[in-house]
């Protein structure tokens, strides 16, 4: 069996092109050019109460790019071995998450908008919704627990 790398080692920032002029700034995103997958689904979160927490799950197959189109929020990541918190606050920059990464969103500023680009259409069977189950499966997958 080939050795698997921890999913957080594959998560990273993606900077999007921006065109600036006196009328403002335009940024754009092209699937398979700026995003390392064909975009199959786009969804967005808005009107989020100040103390709300979103996500709270992991995926077995899905990759996603999170973008703060307006405002800011924190993205907490956990791959069963390592944890990381990313603050998103720029509309021309997204954060790529890979499968087998637990994600939670919180600390939303007022009027924040989070756009998510997804590699697959919605599939409930791809979700892992219990954190303890996720940690157990993720560590077993990495060969860390028997």
Specify the residue for token string 């189109």: 69
Buried b or exposed e, range 54-64, using 16+ CB within 10 angstroms: ebeebbeebbb
Catalytic residue among 57, 76, 120, 131: 57
Residues 6+ apart with CB under 8 A from 58: 99, 100, 101, 102, 103, 127, 128, 134, 138
Instruction: Provide, for the chain, the percentages of residues in helix, strand and coil under a 3-state DSSP scheme, each rounded to the nearest 5.
Output: 10, 40, 45
The reply to whether 120 belongs to the active site is no
Which of the residues are catalytic? 57
């Amino acid at each position: 069996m080939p050795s698997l790398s921890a999913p957080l080692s594959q998560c990273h920032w993606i900077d999007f092109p921006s065109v600036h002029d006196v009328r403002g700034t335009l940024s754009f995103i092209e699937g398979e050019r700026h995003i390392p997958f064909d975009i199959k689904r786009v969804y967005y979160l808005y009107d989020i109460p100040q103390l709300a927490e979103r996500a709270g799950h992991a995926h077995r197959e899905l990759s996603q790019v999170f973008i703060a189109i307006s405002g800011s929020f924190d993205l907490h990541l956990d791959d069963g071995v390592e944890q990381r918190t990313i603050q998103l606050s720029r509309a021309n920059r997204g954060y790529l998450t890979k499968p087998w990464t637990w994600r939670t969103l919180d600390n939303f500023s007022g009027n924040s908008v989070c756009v998510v680009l997804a590699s697959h259409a919605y599939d409930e069977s791809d979700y892992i919704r219990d954190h303890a189950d996720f940690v157990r499966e993720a560590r077993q997958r990495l060969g860390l627990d028997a």
